[in-house]
Amino acid sequence: MSRQRKRKGEPITGWINLFKPVDMTSTQAVAIIKRLYNADKAGHGGTLDPLADGILPIALGQATKTVQWAMDSHKEYIFTIRWGISTASQDAEGEVTATSDVRPDRAAVEAALKNYIGTIRQVPPKFSAIKVAGERAYDLAREGEAFELEAREVDVHAASVIGMPDADHTVIHVVSGKGFYVRAMARDLAHDLGAEGYISQLRRNRVGAFGAQAAVSIEDLEALKEDKPGLMAKLQPLHAVLSGMPQVQVSAHDAANIRQGRSVILLPHVVEQWREGRKDEDDRVALALAGDDAVALGEVRAGQFEPVRVFAG
């Protein structure tokens, strides 16, 4: 008697702009969405700390091929620093490592923040998912192992104080590039100001094209679990994460050829529209669409579209 093959789920493709709650890991959130949609593949567009809430874009099916674009996109955070206490993890969960009576005023924090705008070098927190000799840094930190992480370049596009409810707390808004750690900024700001501080509240308001205003909660989706059309209506298209990429429109016939890995000739007006959509004249990248369906990522060269990463139809 042959064994029945285990069902792997349905080939559902798209993005969920999820507003993750506090006290849930990114991995747990992905598992819940995958179950709700009975999807064959799922992944997220950049880890969000369990103690943080906010935007966690989740890719289903073919959209998992575009996860890197979410990870590389600009991110927007609003966070609160609690002055007077530092913790091992730079958040409320960690062990207290130091205390201080220093309470920086708004002007001092605003002045210090100016040094963080631009391309800066930042040492990631030891309680992070970075691998050290094959081990996760947070595992080594929890075990009390001695190790150091190397500084890396990160981009900070904007940083400002947006609130100071009392002397113990400062609320900060930041727009950053990939690889930036809010907890590391809090640690370094406190050091610069001769103070102690940790992140008492953290929210990610935006990841690229995915913002808080259009986000859905797990409760929203759970309420639709018996309503397949309603659930599907919450999905954003595969190319939602590629909204800023120059596009080329192709016919259904050309789409079939592209999905076979073949290059296709583009009409002159399509090439011209692609040129107008570029931000850099040396950039050859393009997203091929057949109507509203994403066909492939590739390059435009000598009037042809050459596929690099193909999406199943």
Q: Looking at the structure, tell me whether residues 49 and 86 fall in a common domain.
A: no
- Map tokens 């492939």 to a residue: 296
What is the distance between the alpha carbons of residues 242 and 86, in angstroms, rounded to a whole number? Answer: 39
pLDDT band at 6 (very low <50, low <70, confident <90, very high): low
pLDDT band at 7 (very low <50, low <70, confident <90, very high): low
Residue 45 sits in a domain whose CATH number is 3.30.2350.10
Q: Looking at the structure, tell me whether residues 150 and 250 fall in a common domain.
A: no
Interstrand relation of 197-207 and 53-60 (parallel, antiparallel or unpaired)? parallel
Mean pLDDT, the chain, rounded, equals 92
Q: Looking at the structure, tell me whether residues 233 and 302 fall in a common domain.
A: no
What is the distance between the alpha carbons of residues 141 and 1, in angstroms, rounded to a whole number? Answer: 50
Q: Looking at the structure, tell me whether residues 162 and 274 fall in a common domain.
A: no
pLDDT at 97: 94
Kindly state the DSSP code that residue 208 receives in the 8-state scheme: T
What is the distance between the alpha carbons of residues 171 and 161, in angstroms, rounded to a whole number? Answer: 6
Q: Looking at the structure, tell me whether residues 44 and 67 fall in a common domain.
A: yes
The verdict on residue 293 lying in a domain is: yes
Range of the domain at 217: 14-73+210-240
Angle at 177 between CA 175 and CA 179, to 5 degrees: 120
What is the distance between the alpha carbons of residues 271 and 249, in angstroms, rounded to a whole number? Answer: 9
Q: Looking at the structure, tell me whether residues 144 and 87 fall in a common domain.
A: yes
Q: Looking at the structure, tell me whether residues 222 and 251 fall in a common domain.
A: no
Angle at 152 between CA 147 and CA 153, to 5 degrees: 165
User: Using N-to-C axis directions, what is the helix angle for 182-192 and 106-113, rounded to 10°?
Assistant: 120
Q: Looking at the structure, tell me whether residues 173 and 285 fall in a common domain.
A: no
Q: Looking at the structure, tell me whether residues 169 and 262 fall in a common domain.
A: no
Cross-strand pairs, 176: 75, 156
Q: What are the two backbone dihedrals, phi and then psi, of residue 51, each rounded to the nearest 5 degrees?
A: -80, 0
The verdict on residue 252 lying in a domain is: yes
Q: Looking at the structure, tell me whether residues 277 and 223 fall in a common domain.
A: no
What is the distance between the alpha carbons of residues 47 and 53, in angstroms, rounded to a whole number? Answer: 11
Q: Annotated active-site positions, please?
A: 49
Say if residue 126's pLDDT is above 90.
no
Q: Looking at the structure, tell me whether residues 99 and 66 fall in a common domain.
A: no
Average pLDDT over residues 114-121: 96
What is the distance between the alpha carbons of residues 172 and 117, in angstroms, rounded to a whole number? Answer: 13
E strand intervals along the chain = 14-20, 42-44, 53-60, 75-83, 85-87, 96-99, 118-122, 131-132, 135-136, 152-166, 169-176, 197-207, 210-211, 247-249, 264-265, 285-290, 293-301, 304-310
The verdict on residue 218 lying in a domain is: yes
Contacts 24+ apart (CB under 8 A), 138-147: 141/88, 141/89
Per-residue CA distances from 260 to 28, 63, 257 (Å): 36, 19, 5
45 alpha-carbon distance from chain centroid: 4
Residue 300 sits in a domain whose CATH number is 2.30.130.10
pLDDT, one tens digit per residue, over 200-236 is 999 999 999 999 999 999 999 999 999 999 999 999 9
CA dihedral (106, 111, 112, 118) positive or negative: positive
The verdict on residue 136 lying in a domain is: yes
The verdict on residue 42 lying in a domain is: yes
The residue that leads in pLDDT, 134 or 175, is 175
The verdict on residue 3 lying in a domain is: no
Token output for 135: 């081990």
Angle at 59 between CA 58 and CA 64, to 5 degrees: 140
pLDDT, one tens digit per residue, over 140-149 is 778 777 878 8
The verdict on residue 45 lying in a domain is: yes
Number of domains in the chain: 3
Which residue from 257, 264, 256 is spatially nearest to 286, judged by alpha carbons? 264
- Map tokens 């708004």 to a residue: 106
pLDDT, one tens digit per residue, over 44-91 is 998 898 999 999 999 999 999 999 999 999 999 999 999 999 999 899
The verdict on residue 54 lying in a domain is: yes
CA dihedral (121, 127, 129, 130) positive or negative: positive
Q: Looking at the structure, tell me whether residues 114 and 156 fall in a common domain.
A: yes
